[in-house]
Structures are given as C-alpha cells and as structure tokens.
Amino acid sequence: MPSVLNFKKTEIPAVMAFLRQYDELSADKYQKYRTKVGACSVILFDSGKLLIQGDNANAVSKRILEMVKIPDEQIVGVDETGRGEDFGPFVICGVLGLRSKLREVRDSKKTANIAQKKVLVEKNADQIACIEYSAKTIDELRSAGTNMNQIQAKAVDFLVDFFRRSGFLGKIVIDGNPIAVESKNVFFIPKADDSEPAVAAASIVAKFIRDASKDNDKRASWKKKSA
C-alpha cells in the first residue's frame, strides 16, 4: 500500500536535501523531485506531498521521517466543517498530536477516503475533542441574536480550555481568519489545514462526524446571509 507524507512549503528544502542523495528520475508536471529509495518510487510534489510507492513503502516512509532534519512538535490543530452549509450540523474539532505522527493526513477537502484517514488520526493522535451544533441549535442561537462567528468562537474557547485543562501548554493553531475568541496564545492561520498536520487531522475528524450525522435538517435561519 502506498504511503503519503505531507510537508509545509518551508519544510520542502529539508526533504529535498534528503532525496538528493538518490539519483533524480524524470519528473512530470507538479512533481518537484522523483527518485527511488530502495525498491520504492518516491515522488515529491510542489504542494509538499510526498508519495512513496512499493512493497516496503511504510518502512521507507519511517526512514524518511527519521532522516529528514525537521524539528518535531506537539501541537493542537482546530478546524471546522459545515459552517457555511444551509443544512445539517456545524462541527468543530481539535486534535492534539506530534507533527511527525500526523503527516499522513491532508485537509479533508483533498482526501478521498475520509473514514480510513479518520482511523489513522485516532491511532496517531494523543487527544481528540469535538463539538457538534445541530441545525436546530444553530437556528435557535441565531434567532436569539448569536451569529456564526460567535458560535464558532464559543466552540474554540471550549476546545482550548479542554486541552489546557488536560495539561497541554503548547501551540494551538486554528484554521481560518481570526475571530473574537477569549482564549489567549492561539494562532489563527488561513489554510492551516494545508500546512499543519494536526489541523488537517482535525478537518478529517470533523468531516467524518458531519458526514455520519443523521441531522440533514434545513437551517431555517439561512434565509439570511450567515455572518
């Protein structure tokens, strides 16, 4: 089975430094470097995706992670799904884990087998916490004057408090533009699900929960443009 690792743009030079130990093979469009490591084909894409194909792909993947000199870090990633939809739940998830253990997952919008990747996240994450607002709850909150930014901010504050109370004092990265949260020392980064494995992992879990939900109710409050 192929193995996939995902690296940030700033991490690509370190990956390239390792791959250049091996002879470069002809690469296609969007492929930054193509080579063979042992019996495995290894392709680095411009996006930072590293595809390893061969009978011992997992072993080669592990070796690459060990040899590429990128500092590891345990972080919390937070992402949501369903915010802009006119039906069903709004799900916000947080995932705590080491970057090195979560590199096999990508943003849910770029992932075909969500259920399979969700199992991978559960296996490799240290902690997972999620909040789900039903369509009915969203309508009730919005009818009471609470907008979507405020709903999301409350969920983010709850998740941050959960991880802090669990003893985690490190970095917390939230996908998207800043919203008015009460939490301190958190980082809002647009497209963080493309650059931080823990955020990508959170997007996978959130998408799985929303897809599995039996709540397909229309949001009556969506007659108005959501904030």
- Within 10 A of 214 (CB to CB), how many other CB atoms are there? 7
Query: For residue 23, what is the DSSP state?
Result: -
Establish whether 215 is an annotated binding residue: no
SS3 category, 34: strand
CA angle, corner 154, sides to 151 and 157, nearest 5?
Answer: 150
Encoding tokens for residue 129? Answer: 């916490």
Residue type, 197: P
Would you say 86 is a known binding-site residue?
Answer: no
Separation of alpha carbons 44 and 46, rounded Å? 7
Token code pair at residue 52:
């390893």
**Residue 157 parent element (H or E):** helix 148-165
227 burial (CB, 10 Å; 0-12 / 13-18 / 19+) is exposed
Contacts of 33-39 with CB under 8 Å at 24 or more apart are 37/63, 37/64
Cα of first residue to Cα of last residue in the chain, in angstroms, is 43
Q: Tell whether 80 is in a known binding site.
A: yes
For residue 172 the two structure tokens come to: 């917390």
Binding site as annotated, residues:
79-80, 175
Binding site as annotated, residues for a divalent metal cation:
79-80, 175
